[in-house]
Structure formats: C-alpha cells, structure tokens
Amino acid sequence: MPFASVNGIELYWEEAGSGLPVVFCHEFAADYRGWEPQMRAFGRLYRCVTYSQRGFPPSSVPTEPEAYSQETLVEDLRGLAEHLGIQRAHFVGFSMGGNVVLNLGLKYPSLCRSLTVVGTGAGTVA
C-alpha cells in the first residue's frame, strides 16, 4: 500500500495512468475508492491520483478534533502533491473534497491547472 508522510500523518494514495496529473479529493461519506470509475476512465489519458484524507482509513486517523481543520486538509493535499512530484495538476473535489480543492486553489494557485468543484457548499466565515 502506498503512503505519503505528510504533516505528521500517513496518507494512503493510489495512482493510474500517465500524462498530465488529475488529483481526486473525496467527499465526507466516502474514501479513495469513491473515485474508482473516474480513475479507470481518465487514467487512459492522464496521470490520475486519489487518496484517503486524514480520518479515513487506511490513512491515519488522528484523535484530536483540532487535527481536522480546513487549513490542515489543504496542507495535506499540497503535501501529497509535493510527495508525488506534482508541480501543477487538475484538481477535482466532491462535497467536502470540493472545499479542500477550492481552498487549495485560493492558497496555491500556481499548483492548479484547473479546479473542478462539485456539490460543494460555500462554507462559513467564523
């Protein structure tokens, strides 16, 4: 099983295909397996990556509630891209994963070729 050591945790990831990278970020009610049909289809033309976010096995599951901030999830995704040698990618996120992808694009625009954000709320400002 491939893991990336990122921000003090282990993130499980899978990869299919070659070419320009497309990174898939899952929703709250799923894990990396939710993107399997897209990995198969887009893996014919692109380097596709999916991963389980922190809190979703087989990735690490920290017990501290503060380990799950939006900022932390964004840094996890950035760290995974760095671990995989990805300098620029298409990022696709659904629901919770869409928030991660959207915030990644806002914080690290040079990392993003494009963002596809699906079924995602706008979030809140505290």
The DSSP symbol for 99 reads H
pTM here?
A: 0.93
Domain made up of 3-118: CATH architecture: 3-Layer(aba) Sandwich (3.40)
29 has pLDDT over 70: yes
pLDDT in tens, 49-59: 999 999 999 99
Which structure tokens are listed for 87?
């300098």
Taken in order 53, 96, 77, 48, the sign of the CA dihedral is: positive
124 has pLDDT over 80: no
Q: Residues 51-71, buried b or exposed e (16+ Cβ, 10 A)? A: bbbbbbeebbeeeeeebeeee
Contact 17, 84 (CB under 8 A): no
* Domain ranges (residues) in the chain: 3-118
Would you state the pLDDT for residue 1?
Answer: 75
9 has pLDDT over 80: yes
pLDDT in tens, 63-117: 999 999 999 999 999 999 999 999 999 999 999 999 999 999 999 999 999 999 9
28 has pLDDT over 60: yes
